[in-house]
């Protein structure tokens, strides 16, 4: 089973008032049924806020092999940190038949922008304040993990180990904001999707049931976290795709609404903020992030960085050889530092 961009949200599709296309986000539907509701974890654990003891997998002889692939946005909107840290900032176990992968800095549908042409500019912001991440025809990480799942299920070859933030690299919103780089015209978000335990009444529990208290009562609050970032504003834990390992800009798993909806998060959109080309340009603009020139020196240096990153991603099992070649060809054909 591959679960794609779920964070810690659950979809109660077979209960009263179910609506499969609604979801909780920072600015809407925070008290809706399809939200993060315990159990959040695959292993059977006791949730410290609600007291519920349960897990998504509890029949070892027939439990499936599971990959959960989340984007950076799921940390901000769908409380993904609860997959690995409970509401009191304590670690939770991950079963041997589960792999958790976080695609660093990506929006809800993944970055996927560099396989055919490296991104040099942002997509239209639309109703968001900042330019959005551009998409691509396919996502190289997902392609590699399809092969890994086949090998895991059919041949018993273990899938790549989980690559997901843990307690050592999870930070509070305040810590995230304090470490955010100086980027002209960009301010770190001041909000995230928070979570309280939702009480729908005595006949609703971890498997669903009858909702008798609407809107639901709110119980204790959960502590949710974000992923630590580097001096570029890119996250430092998870599957570092090419767009993060050899960056041309800062990839953010969040974006912010335009006025008058600011500072709400901008739905399921991430953001992309390109680097300056030269050191002189970034200093003139007051940008603390190194320029492309300072990182790669010239076009050949950029291509070499892509080649090295591709080798590592293939070795780690997150990139197929054919897609590694596509990345290198795209880098060679690009006008980065030409």
Residue with structure tokens 């792999």? 99
What per-residue confidence (pLDDT) applies to 114?
43
User: What is the dihedral angle through the alpha carbons of 34, 36, 41, 46, rounded to the nearest 10 degrees?
Assistant: -110
Residue 151 lies in a domain: yes
Q: Are 165 and 105 in contact (CB under 8 A)?
A: no
pLDDT at 118: 58
Number of domains in the chain: 1
Alpha-carbon distance of 231 to 244, in angstroms, equals 12
| Distance from the Cα of residue 174 to its chain's centroid | 19
Residue with tokens 């180990």: 161
CA of 292: how far to CAs of 87, 240, 250, in Å?
Answer: 40, 19, 12
In this structure, is residue 338 part of a structural domain?
no
Does 180 map to a domain? Answer: yes
pLDDT at residue 105, rounded to an integer: 86
- Which DSSP category does 258 fall into? P
- Structural domain boundaries enclosing 262: 2-333
- Cβ atoms within 10 A of the Cβ of 332, count? 14
b/e code 139-165 from CB counts within 10 Å (16+ = b) = bbbbbbbeebbeebeeeeeebbebbbb
239, β-bridge pairs: 103
Residue 58 lies in a domain: yes
State how beta strands 53-54 and 217-222 pair.
Answer: unpaired
- Kindly state the helix (H) or strand (E) to which residue 197 belongs, with its residue range: strand 195-199
- Would you give per-residue pLDDT tens digits along the chain (338 residues)? 999 999 999 888 888 888 878 889 999 988 988 899 999 999 999 999 999 999 999 998 999 999 999 999 999 999 999 999 999 999 999 999 999 999 988 888 766 444 445 556 788 899 999 998 875 545 889 999 999 999 999 999 999 999 999 988 899 999 999 999 999 999 999 999 999 999 999 999 999 999 999 999 999 999 999 999 999 999 999 998 888 899 999 999 999 999 999 999 999 999 999 999 999 999 999 999 999 999 999 999 999 999 999 999 999 999 999 999 999 998 999 999 99
Residue 268 lies in a domain: yes
């Amino acid at each position: 089973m591959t679960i794609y961009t779920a964070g810690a949200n659950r979809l109660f599709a077979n209960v009263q008032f179910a609506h499969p296309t609604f979801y909780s986000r920072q600015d809407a539907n925070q008290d809706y049924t399809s939200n993060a509701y315990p159990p959040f974890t695959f292993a059977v654990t006791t949730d410290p806020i609600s007291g519920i003891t349960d897990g998504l997998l509890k029949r070892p002889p027939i439990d499936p092999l599971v990959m959960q692939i989340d984007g950076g946005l799921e940390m901000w909107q769908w409380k993904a940190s609860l997959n690995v840290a409970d509401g009191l900032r304590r670690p939770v176990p991950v079963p041997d038949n589960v792999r958790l992968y976080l695609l660093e800095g990506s929006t809800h549908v993944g970055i996927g922008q560099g396989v055919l042409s490296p991104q040099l500019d942002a997509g239209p912001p639309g109703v968001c304040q900042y330019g959005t991440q551009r998409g691509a025809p396919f996502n190289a990480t997902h392609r590699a993990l399809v092969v890994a799942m086949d090998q895991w299920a059919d041949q018993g070859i273990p899938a790549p180990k989980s690559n997901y933030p843990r307690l050592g690299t999870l930070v509070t919103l305040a810590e995230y904001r304090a470490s955010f780089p100086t980027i002209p015209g960009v301010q770190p978000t001041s909000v995230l999707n928070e979570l309280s335990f939702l009480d729908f009444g005595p006949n609703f529990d971890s498997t669903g049931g009858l909702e008798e208290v609407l809107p639901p009562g709110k119980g204790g609050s959960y502590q949710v976290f974000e992923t630590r970032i580097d001096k570029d504003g890119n996250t430092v834990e998870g599957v570092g795709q090419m767009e993060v390992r050899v960056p041309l800009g800062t990839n953010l798993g969040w974006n912010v609404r335009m006025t008058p909806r600011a500072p709400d998060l901008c739905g399921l959109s991430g953001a992309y903020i390109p680097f300056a080309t030269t050191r002189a340009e970034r200093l003139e603009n007051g940008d603390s992030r190194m320029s492309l020139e300072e990182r790669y020196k010239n076009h050949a240096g950029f291509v070499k960085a892509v080649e090295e990153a591709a080798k590592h991603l293939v070795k780690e099992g997150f990139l197929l050889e054919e897609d590694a070649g596509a990345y290198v060809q795209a880098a060679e054909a690009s006008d980065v530092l030409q």
